[in-house]
Structures are given as structure tokens and as C-alpha cells.
Amino acid sequence: MRLEEIIRNILLGYNNFSLFFLIFINVVNSILLLLALRGIRMYRQKRKSWPYKKMISSVYVPPVSILVPSFNEERTIVDNIESLLAIEYSQFEVVVINDGSKDNTLDTLIKAFGLKKMDSPYKKDIYTEEVRGIYISSTRSNLKVVDKVNGGKADALNAGINVARYPLFTAIDADSILEKNSLLKVVRPFIDNPEKVVATGGIVRVLNGSKVVNGFIEEVGLSKKALPTMQTIEYLRAFLFGRMGWSELGSLLIVSGAFGVFKKSVVLKVGGYTQDTIGEDMELILKIHRLMRREKKEYEIVFIPDPVCWTQAPEDLKSLRGQRIRWHRGLMDSLYNCRGMLLNPKYGIIGLVALPYYFLVEMLGPVVEIIGYLSVIGSFFLGILNVDFAILYFTFSVLYGIFLSVTSVMLEEYNFMKYDKVTDYIRMIIFAVIENFGYRQLTTWWRLRAFFGYRRKKNQWGNIERKEFSSKAA
């Protein structure tokens, strides 16, 4: 058999494989979308009977420790802490962990909140790098700052857990802002079902374009820049149908590091956040699943679509590339560390459905997609491209993606209406189409690079250029 004929057969075989692979992905996504629609509808019904105003001062609301890991965050840290201290909640503390910042993060906090160093021991329930000092605020009784040697985000969070006083804790990124009632909403499942719920997660939205004054969002807006706008679409799609759908299946594998609430006793039992990975948020959830399944306990990890945490998205390609490569390597870290759960019936739907999906679609998907594009191009030059196949491939890889993105925007508009301007929704729908032509392929390429450049135990915060929160919508 001639070499050209072998290549032709390989290309034709791969074309068929990639088409069926895309059909499989979109069938699963359709199921997740239907589950998400059901979950959001049920949440809307429950929300009508939740007395949030009474909950603010209720003694039945469990106290929460808010952990804020910080590394080189001097530009946004004060606004972030001010917003957290003003949330509507009965009893809480804010614990900021300065993880060896090289800028003036600590000095900025000392000046802004009148911090005084405490003379008290540091109890290591979880091992961490050296803690150089613990500070309390002379103006805010529920603010504490931990200054420690740099050890990475997971190490900083573990230090915060060691210092935290309360049975529940939430981890908030230092470049993020919570809405005033978000914590009440995301803690609600712990009140409704305190024995079973071990973790909850809220939705994260893109802050770029919104007006922020003294740490509070005064006006929600869409960024006028293309890159943050396309990330806004991505976040809506990932949370409103992706995580909502998996939550409905009882198979949520990720609670965003930007906004999640955990039962401290369970997290201590699994050893806290894993320190030799950059995917510490997914890793923690997988460890909790593994523990609860092994101990044969009934438990729930719940996604709530309404409580909002607003976070800055990268506005330049360099920062975005670093973020996406880091995310994909974090995914690979987590899947590798929990490989014993994959296809293991002992872990039920987690091992037999959720993890295989993340392995095949999330981790290997970029490889299959990029090779699929190359296969189509090669088939064209060899004169064996089937036009019907090309149309089907285009339909399933692009048009269905547009449908999911537009549906996510419509879900946001119908259920939550965070954006006041009709023009913002129109622009999001336009970008839901545009992102599929260039932007999606670029992020897929970065994930492919992350896949082939993967090395274990690269534990770095990464560098995303932070900007001061805007005092006017932009």
C-alpha cells in the first residue's frame, strides 16, 4: 500500500472519529443544559420563600470565616476587604493571608485598617510555610491578617484555615468583590440540610466594565473591550449550564476558587488544599468526593446560580494565555492525582460519568479538536474532503457552540437580569457568535500547549496584571 493511500485512510478515519466525538460532546452538553434549566427553575421557586432579611440577624445562620489569599494585590486589596466587611451577614470574620507578596500589600493593609501585630501562637492543623506574624485591626474587630512566607495559593489557604475560628469558611480571591447578600445565599444549603451539605459554590462573573466605588459595585456594565466581553460569555456558559448541570447530577467536580463555602471539619479531614498542584480548587472537591464515598456517607456539594462574586478578567492576551495554560495544567494535575477514581464503580457517578467526561472532553478535547482542524485541511489538499462531512463538522463544532452561548446569555437575562442596559445583552449575543471564530480556537490552542507542556508539581500563582477597580463603568 502506497504512503499516500495510508495517509488518506488515516485522515478519513480520523474525520469520522472527530465527528462522532463532537456529536458525543454535544449530546452530553444538551443533557447538562436540560438539567441546568430544571435546576434554575427549582431555585427560582425556592428563592421566593427564603426570608433573606430575617436571616441577616438570625442566630440559626452559622458563622463563617472569609479567607482572602493575597499575592501582590496592593492595587485592589483595600477595596476588596472593604466590600467583604460590609456584606450582609450575622457573624463572620475576614482573614487575609499575605503570601509573601513582593509589593506593598501588607503595608497597604496596615495603613488602611490600623493593623497591630499579635503575640499569639500559630497552631498548624495543616502544615504550611512559616507564618511571620498575625495582625488584628484596631478599627475592624472582625478583620485579621496573616503574614507568611510565600508558599503558593494552596499553602496560603491552608494557613487561613488554621487561623479561622468558625465551622464554615469561604475562600475569596483578592481581586474579587462579593455582592452584599451573596454569602447568605450560598450558605443557605448548609441551613436547609446541615448534615449532608459539605460544600457549596456560587457563580463568578466578570467585573470588567462595571462601576466600583470604595469596594462596592454601583453599576453593573459590560466591558467595551472585546477580550473581557468574550470571557463574560465563557463564564455564563461555564456556570449557568455547565456547573449547574453537574450539580443537578450530584457530580459537581469544581467549586471555583473565587467563591466557595466549605465545612471546615471535612476539609481538615482530607488534609486541606493540596500544595503541590496549581489546580487546588478542583483537587479539594475531588478529595472530598473520595473521602465521603469511601466512608459511604450521604453528602451534597451544591452549586447556587444566584449568589454572585465579581472578578477581574485578563484584558491582554499574555495574561489570558497564562491563565488558561495554568487552568488546564491544574485540571491535569487534579485528574492525575485522583486517577484511582476514574472508571471505578466504588465512586458511583463521579468515577463512571463525571471524571471520564472531564478526562475525555475537558482534558483531551483540545487535542482532538486541533487535530480535527488539521485533518480537514489535509483532506482538502489531498482532494478527499467530503463536503457533507465538512458541513456536519462545522455545524457541531461551531453552530452548536453558538447556541449554547446564546442560551446562557438568555438564561442570565430571564432569571437574574444583572445588566441594566439592553445594549449589553445585544452585545453579548453578538459576541456569543464572534467568539467562535478565532477566540475559541486560540484558547483551544493554549490548552493544547498546556497539555503537551505539562509537568507535575509546578506550583505558581501566575502573574495577571491587576488594575484598580474602576470608579466608572467602562
Work out the pLDDT band at 182, boundaries 50, 70, 90. Answer: confident
Confidence of residue 230 (pLDDT cuts 50, 70, 90): very high
Q: If phi over 0 gives left and psi between -120 and 50 gives alpha, with beta otherwise, what is residue 32?
A: alpha
Q: What is the CATH number of domain 63-166?
A: 3.90.550.10
How distant is the alpha carbon of residue 72 from its chain centre? 21
Picking from 176, 348, 147, the residue whose alpha carbon sits closest to that of residue 257 is 176
pLDDT of residue 414: 78
> Cα separations (Å) of 78 from 74, 85, 383?
8, 11, 62
Q: How far, in Å, CA of 315 to CA of 465, rounded?
A: 8
Whole-number Å distance between alpha carbons of 284 and 15: 38
- How far apart are the C-alpha atoms of 336 and 84, rounded to whole Å? 35
Give the pLDDT of residue 458: 55
DSSP letters along 117-180, please?
Answer: E-------SS--SPEEEEEEESS-TTEEEEEE----HHHHHHHHHHH--SSEEEEE-TTEEE-T
Mean pLDDT of 428-440: 93
Buried b (16+ CB within 10 A) or exposed e, 225-247: eebbbbbbbbbbbbbbbbbbbbb
In which residue are the cell numbers 474602576 written? 470
Residue 411 amino acid letter: L
pLDDT digits (tens, 9 = 90+) for 209-218: 998 887 778 8
**Of residues 175, 99, 90, the one with CA closest to residue 132:** 99
Domain-wise residue ranges, the chain: 1-61+180-455, 63-166
Q: Of 331, 340, 397, whose CA–CA distance to 364 is shortest?
A: 331
pLDDT, one tens digit per residue, over 73-84 is 998 889 889 888
d(CA 348, CA 230): 36
